[in-house]
């Protein structure tokens, strides 16, 4: 059995060692450890391997809290102390910025962190009826597999949601359409918890009654989704609180649909918005763009600081609801929304929006390459970039610094997904 000394972690939290000129990625190994491993995929320049035995353990290694860790693919770093997780993610960010973008921040921001457990207010869980495994399975997919993990509890979900897993298994397993129900989505708001059932055929009357009884007992709201995300409709109870989240520092409440993209970690989102606005420093009288604005998670807080804000988003449905959120929070006169595909940005199109003093960019994992390329001579003097992918942030940082005259003044991680390999970050760029 080959052995190796783990040098570092990659962006998927795999340990890296080397042998005979090849890089070996070892699942579950930590930096500094001496491990035995078994390769399961071999390529000319690298191998993928399973951890077999830890001969010398790292001081960062801890006992995972979740009994399903190592099988369930929802978490990748529970075996690592949370403080060491932060350090590893910070290294991934800094290494990406340098090796991909050839840039280093003038200041490394202190990491934004919060509760390590019970933070996940949104989750998409697979569902499968499997008599040989005890009836109904509900869970995340297994590690590197399409199979659904047989999870009975989940410490990264809020406790009341984790406690619903087994009752939900019993409920869904008893429905007439149990074999035609591939997934559920759970969304936790300030005043209610929603469960979206992805149904491939209609419910029977008996099914409907079972859902009503469960909703009353467990104090949840059921939605039914027969097709795509936009088809999700509230089933029961029809009256009652709607999904929303709060940004108390800005006196804001934003309503959302259970299938909308919203932040998974509400507490961390509040801290992240605060950090973003500290870096952006919006002032009354300024005109600011919020690119990839979504529901207005940054748009409305910027407006609350007195600036005039234009939110730009690719989803026409979200853009249509933006003014509603602005009116509900008494900000309609400060905010406008535009529907546009920012992945097709051009310099002429961007110039057509008018001049902006500052800009905030919060793109999906693909990043904002075309938008960065479209920044012209009258580009905003300050730009805050919120990223969920260090590789695309680094790529775009290279464009901003080498071609657009910006300096990377500061960057740091936002640990919105503890125990996972996801590296979220925030960066400040400035130009003369």
Q: What is the dihedral of CA 295, 280, 11, 83, to 10 degrees?
A: -110
Q: What is the residue whose two structure tokens read 């996972």?
A: 420
Q: Give the DSSP letter string of 242-310.
A: PPEEEEGGGTEEEE--TTS---S-HHHHHHHHHHHHHHH---TT-EEEEET-TTTTTHHHHHHTT-EEE
Which two three-digit tokens encode residue 133?
């495994």
Return d(Cα 388, Cα 105) in angstroms, integer.
17
Catalytic sites, residue numbers: 388
For residue 388, give the DSSP letter.
S
**What values do phi and psi take at 251, rounded to 5?**
55, 50
Among 360, 362, 194, which residue's Cα sits nearest to residue 289? 360
C-alpha distances in Å from residue 288, one per residue of 145, 306, 309, 427: 44, 11, 5, 17
Count of beta carbons in the 10 Å neighbourhood of residue 241: 11
Find out whether 360 and 291 touch, Cβ atoms under 8 Å: yes
Return d(Cα 200, Cα 228) in angstroms, integer.
11
Return d(Cα 388, Cα 415) in angstroms, integer.
10
CA 191 to chain centre: 22
Alpha-carbon Rg of the chain, whole angstroms? 23
């Amino acid at each position: 059995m080959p052995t190796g000394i783990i040098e570092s972690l990659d962006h998927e939290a795999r340990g890296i060692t080397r042998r005979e000129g090849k890089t070996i990625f070892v699942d579950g190994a930590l930096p500094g450890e001496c491990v035995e491993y078994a390769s399961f995929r071999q390529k000319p320049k690298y191998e993928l391997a399973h951890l077999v035995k830890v001969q010398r353990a790292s001081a960062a290694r801890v006992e995972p809290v979740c009994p399903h860790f190592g099988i369930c693919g929802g978490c990748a770093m529970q075996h690592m102390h949370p403080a060491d997780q932060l350090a590893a993610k910070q290294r991934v960010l800094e290494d990406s910025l340098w090796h991909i973008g050839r840039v280093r921040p003038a200041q490394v921001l202190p990491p934004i962190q919060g509760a390590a457990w019970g933070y996940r207010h949104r989750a998409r869980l697979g569902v499968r009826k499997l008599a040989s495994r005890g009836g109904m399975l509900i869970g995340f997919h297994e590690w590197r597999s399409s199979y659904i993990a047989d999870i009975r509890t989940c410490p990264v979900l809020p406790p009341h949601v984790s406690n619903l897993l087994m009752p939900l298994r019993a409920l869904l397993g008893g429905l007439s359409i149990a074999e035609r129900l591939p997934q559920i989505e759970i969304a936790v708001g300030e005043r209610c918890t929603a469960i979206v059932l992805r149904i491939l055929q209609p419910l029977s009357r008996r099914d409907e009654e079972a859902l009503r009884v469960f909703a009353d007992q467990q104090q949840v709201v059921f939605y039914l989704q027969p097709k795509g995300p936009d088809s999700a409709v509230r089933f029961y109870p029809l009256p009652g609180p709607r999904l929303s989240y709060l940004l108390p520092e800005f006196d804001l409440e934003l309503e959302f649909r259970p299938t909308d993209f919203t932040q998974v970690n509400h507490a961390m989102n509040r801290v992240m918005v605060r950090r973003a606005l500290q870096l952006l420093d919006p002032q009354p009288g300024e005109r600011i763009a919020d690119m990839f604005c979504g529901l207005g998670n940054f748009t409305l807080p910027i407006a609350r600081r007195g600036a005039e804000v234009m939110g730009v988003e690719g989803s026409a449905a979200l853009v249509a609801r933006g003014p509603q959120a602005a009116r509900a929070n008494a900000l309609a006169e400060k905010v406008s929304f535009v529907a546009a595909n920012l992945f097709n940005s051009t310099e002429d199109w961007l110039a057509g929006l008018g001049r902006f003093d500052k800009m905030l960019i919060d793109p999906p994992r693909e990043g904002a390459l075309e938008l960065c390329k479209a920044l012209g001579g009258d580009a905003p003097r300050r730009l805050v970039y919120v990223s969920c992918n260090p590789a695309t942030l680094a790529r775009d940082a290279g464009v901003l610094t080498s071609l657009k005259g910006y300096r990377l003044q500061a960057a740091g991680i936002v640990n919105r997904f503890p125990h996972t390999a996801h590296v979220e970050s925030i960066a400040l760029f400035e130009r003369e």
